[in-house]
Structure formats: C-alpha cells, structure tokens
Structure 1
Amino acid sequence: MELQWPLILFTTFMAWCAGTFATQCVLAFQGKAAKSQMACWITSAVLLVIGGIAVFLHLQHWTRIFNGFGHITSGITQEFIIIVVLAIIAVVYLALLRRNDNQVPKWIAVLGIVASILLVLISGHSYQMEAVPAWNTFLWPIALLGEACILGPATVAVVMALTGESDDEVKAPGGFAFIGSIVNAVCSIAAAVSVTFASNSLSQVGAWYDLTHPTQSIAAVNINPFTGDAAMIMWIGVIVIGILVPIVACFMGTKKGNWKMWAAVALIAAVIGVVCLRVVFYISGVHLFMFY
C-alpha cells in the first residue's frame, strides 16, 4: 500500500500529544512539576492541533470528513469523539491549573490519563480490518501506546529541564522515559513480528489478466518487515534509531543526570522510530487478495 503521510503524521502526533498530556497528569497527580505544568499543557495542545491538521490533509476536500460520521462504529467518528473528550478535559485542566496556582485536583489528572490512553488505542484500532491481515491485530494499537510511553515522558523531561525545574524533579519523567523506551521496544517488535504471521493469509495468484492494465504484471510483495520490502526501514529506522537509541539515551540520563540533552536525544530518535514504524505499517498493508 502506498504511504499515507497525513495519516502517518496524524497517528504520530496523537500518540505524542497523548503521551505528553498523560505524563503531565501523572506528575500533577503526584504533586510535581508545578513550574512546568503550563508549558507542558501548551506543548500537548500544539501537538494535538498539528495532528488534527494532518488528518484533514488526507482528504481532497476537508468537508468530506463529515461523510465518515454516519455511524458510531466508524473509525473517524470514534476518533472525533475521543479527541473532543480529551480537548474538553484539557480545557477544564487548564482552567483548574490557572485557578489553583499551577496545581490541579487529582480527579482531573486521572481523567486526563484515561482519555489519553483511550485516544491512542482508538486511533490505532481504526486501522484494524479483516481485509488487511497485517493490520488486523490489536498489537498495532498497543504499539502506538508503547510509542506514547516514550514520546510523552521524554517531551516532558525536556520541557521541565528548559523551564528550570530542579534535577530531582526532572528525574521523575526521565525515569518514566526509560521505562517507556523499554515498553516501546517490546510493543513495536511484537507488532512487527505479528506481520510475519499475517503473510500466511495472503493469496498468491499465478496468472491474472486485467483488461484495464493488460501489460502490468502482478507485484510480488514480501510483507515480512524483517526481510521484505521494508527491511532496511525496520532494522535501521525502527530498531536501531527508534528503539536502541532512546533506551541508551534514557539510560545515560539516569546515570549522568543531564536530561536536557539525553531526553532530547531520546525524543528525536523516538520520533524518527515512530514514523518509520508507521511506514512499515503501510508497506505491510497488503489486502487479503494481492490483486485488490
């Protein structure tokens, strides 16, 4: 399947936004990071807006997005609902933040965490379909959640370091980022491995004649992300840059304490890895019958 860059950016920024807001909520629940709460909120809001703009670019005309709101089971409808819910919670969070001197009640922090998790899972679930075996597994939404677990804490660690939070305060999101980098590694590899089993569901056609493309041969596609058409992207972009570099960077952050640098390295590498994994996702998106 050809790469759908607007949707790649949409899912990336949704995971990034949700991870950032959820990390901010966890710290607020613990009574930490009061100085950087507003900066973290602005960051997550900007990420949400960028992701929202990206999804509109997928359509030739933006008003056609409303055609997808015909039923509650529509992926677009579900994504729209959870985005609106998260936006409402974020606005309430902001109001309480301004009223209570950069602190919020624990109940709104819990709501923010739950809404962030649901946003990631629903965004990933929208792509599950029986006609595309490589996508028809819940491991892909889980992989998106794993990506949020590294993107969010690393972003918050950078923001906290830039806003002058103490090293002890920055250790909290830094620790979350280290754990998140490992979670991301496990979830991403699991999703990629699931694609290798999905290849057994594809029908290979020996001979085929299409009146509309009489001279076009059938493309032999190897969807295995480790050995197929996406192998280089998987090994270099996902595993080396997107998985190993964030783990090493977060480990160095826990040892050296310079989270401004190490969290930034982990974040940049993680973003590259997330985009590469979404590229692998689309390259593996071959329909049940290869000629469809």
Structure 2
Amino acid sequence: MAIQWPLVIFSLLAGAGGALLAFVGLSGVLGLAKKARVPAAVGALVLLVVGGCASVAHLAQPANIMAAAANVFSFSGISVELIMLGVNAIVAVAYVLTARGESANATKIVGIVGIVTGVAMTFVVGNGYVMEAQPNWNTPALPFAYLGSGLATGGALFATLMAALKTDEADFRGIMPWVLGATVVQLVAFLAYGFAIGFAADVLLYWGGAVIVGSVGAIACAAFIAKASTMAYATLVCAVVGGICLRALMWLVGTGFLDAFGTAAVRGVWGV
C-alpha cells in the first residue's frame, strides 16, 4: 500500500502536540519549568492546527471535507480523532489564557485536563486505523505504538524548549526522568507492534529507523539531557525519525489501497 504522507504528518504532529500539552500539565503538577509552559502550550496548539490542516489536505475535495464535518459525531475512529483534535486545541488556548491571569489553581486544573486529553490524542490517532479489513493494523499494539511515539516526540520537544529557553538545571533533573520514560515506552510499544505483525516489516524502516535510531537512539540521548541540555535536540531528532518510520511502515504493511473515505465507505459511518 502506498504511504499516505498527509496522514503520516497529521498523526505525527497531532500526537506530538497532544503529548506536548500533556507535558505542560505535568510540569505544572511537578512545579517545574514554569518558563517553558506557555511557549509549549502555544507550540502544542500550532502542531495541532498544522496537523489538522494536513488531515484536511488528505481529504482533497470540498465535498469530502463537508462529509467529514457533517458526520463528526458518528464516533467512528476517524471522527474521534477530529473531536480530540478540537478538544486539545481548546485546552491549549485555555491554558495560555489562564496562565496570563492571576489564578494559579485554574492554570493547574487546565494543565491536568491537558494531561488527560493530550495522552488520549496520542492514542486515538493510531486507534482510528485498527480494523478487521487490515490484518497488520488489526491489533491493540498499533495505537499503543502511536501513543509511545507521541509521548517520546512530545516529551523531547518539551525538553528542547526548556533547553532553548535556558531553564534551570533543577528543572531538567525533575523533568528528564519523564522524558526518558516516554522514550522507553516508545521502544516497548514499537517492539510490541513488531511482534504483533510477526516482524513482517521492512528491515531498514522498522529495525533501523523505528527501533535503533528512533527508540534506542532517543533513549541514549535522553539519558544525558540532565547533564547536557543540548542532547534534547538530538533526542527530538531521533524521536521524529522513529515516528515517521513507524507510520510509513504501517502503510507499507497494509494490503490494498486505502484512503480516509475508502475506510468510511467500508465502515458505513460517513454515508459515502
């Protein structure tokens, strides 16, 4: 099956945006990296919007876009993605607005909501592809692989913002275990997906890109961020490579041509 690059971009950016928002909330709960929170919330909003535009680009025709909008509350896998995209964008805006006010409690509450909605976003962008018609997608391991990818990329991006804004060393020591944990989750989830499909995947994309560079490389770089903040940039690059390779791999192991509206027609959820 041909790689659907607009959907690769959508799921990568939307997942990373959700995870970045989750890290904003986490840093608020931990009382760390205050300087990076609002810029990260703005960054999450940008990623969600750009990712949404990539998804719209895949729909190609105005009629398809209107059909998707009209059936957004069908609660199919695709509609849930769109709903969560909007919810996370609203939470990101709410966080920026409350952070500019005087109520620290309100900001923290919105941040906690962002943790829940952000993590959910990383999962649903993969869950929409789970279907019986695609044997290599029809496994719970696929959305968890997307979740791991989103957490690793979003966590690395939050660390990168911390490095760029030169946050205190104590903040790095407090946040880095969480970033490192996210990269470990990604490795475990990628291996689980490989196992689920019998490792019947392109060797270079899976083992070279997703596992070795994207996951093991990200773990190795993240382990040194607390000592050298510039390693955050390397962690981000590795995580992005891993996320792209995993998504490209998913399309290549699919059977037959499939696009968003082909899926909808099969499921009968959009009436097209």
TM-score by length of 2: 0.88
More moved, 152-161 vs 30-39 = 30-39
Structure in which a larger fraction of residues adopt helix: 2
1:154·1:177 contact (CA, 8 Å) conserved in 2? yes
The higher radius of gyration belongs to 1
Q: Where do 1:163-182 residues align within 5 Å?
A: 163-182=165-184
Match for 1:125 among 105, 124, 127?
A: 127
- Please give the secondary structure, in 2, of the residue aligned with 1:132: coil
Q: Which residue of 2 aligns with 1:99?
A: 101
Match for 1:276 among 227, 240, 245?
A: 245
Q: Where do 1:31-70 residues align within 5 Å?
A: 31-68=31-68, 69-70=70-71
Distance 1:247 1:32 in 2: 22
Q: Which residue of 1 aligns with 2:163?
A: 161
Establish whether residue 110 from structure 1 lines up as the match of residue 112 from structure 2: yes
Q: Which residue of 2 aligns with 1:210?
A: none
**How far apart are residue 74 of structure 1 and its match?**
2.7
Q: Deviations over 1:153-187 (max 9, x none)?
A: 21111111211211111223322111111111000
Mind listing any 5+ residue stretches in structure 1 that lack a counterpart?
197-222, 288-292
Q: Aligned residues: percent identity? A: 28
- Please give the secondary structure, in 2, of the residue aligned with 1:99: coil
Q: Residue type of the partner of 1:120?
A: T
Q: Which residue of 2 aligns with 1:217?
A: none
Q: Where do 1:129-278 residues align within 5 Å?
A: 129-196=131-198, 224-225=200-201, 230-254=202-226, 257-259=227-229, 261-278=230-247
Distance 2:221 2:82 in 1: 35
**How far apart are residue 63 of structure 1 and its match?**
4.4
Q: How many residues matched?
A: 254
Q: Residue type of the partner of 1:119?
A: M
Q: Residue type of the partner of 1:274?
A: G
**How far apart are residue 85 of structure 1 and its match?**
1.4
Distance 1:173 1:148 in 2: 17
Q: Which residue of 2 aligns with 1:27?
A: 27
TM-score by length of 1: 0.82
Q: Residue type of the partner of 1:224?
A: A
Distance 1:170 1:41 in 2: 18
Q: Residue type of the partner of 2:220?
A: V
Distance 2:23 2:90 in 1: 18
**How far apart are residue 102 of structure 1 and its match?**
7.7
Q: Residue type of the partner of 1:98?
A: R
Q: Which residue of 2 aligns with 1:213?
A: none
2:45·2:93 contact (CA, 8 Å) conserved in 1? no
Distance 2:250 2:164 in 1: 34
Distance 2:248 2:33 in 1: 35
Q: Which residue of 1 aligns with 2:15?
A: 15
Distance 2:67 2:151 in 1: 33
Distance 1:141 1:57, change over 3 A: same
Q: Deviations over 1:53-104 (max 9, x none)?
A: 1111212224412313435133332112111211222222111101038885
Q: Deviations over 1:207-231 (max 9, x none)?
A: xxxxxxxxxxxxxxxx811xxxx12
- Please give the secondary structure, in 2, of the residue aligned with 1:264: helix
- Please give the secondary structure, in 2, of the residue aligned with 1:57: helix
1:156·1:173 contact (CA, 8 Å) conserved in 2? no
Distance 2:115 2:63 in 1: 31
Distance 1:182 1:54 in 2: 28
Misfit runs of 4+, over 4 Å: 101-104
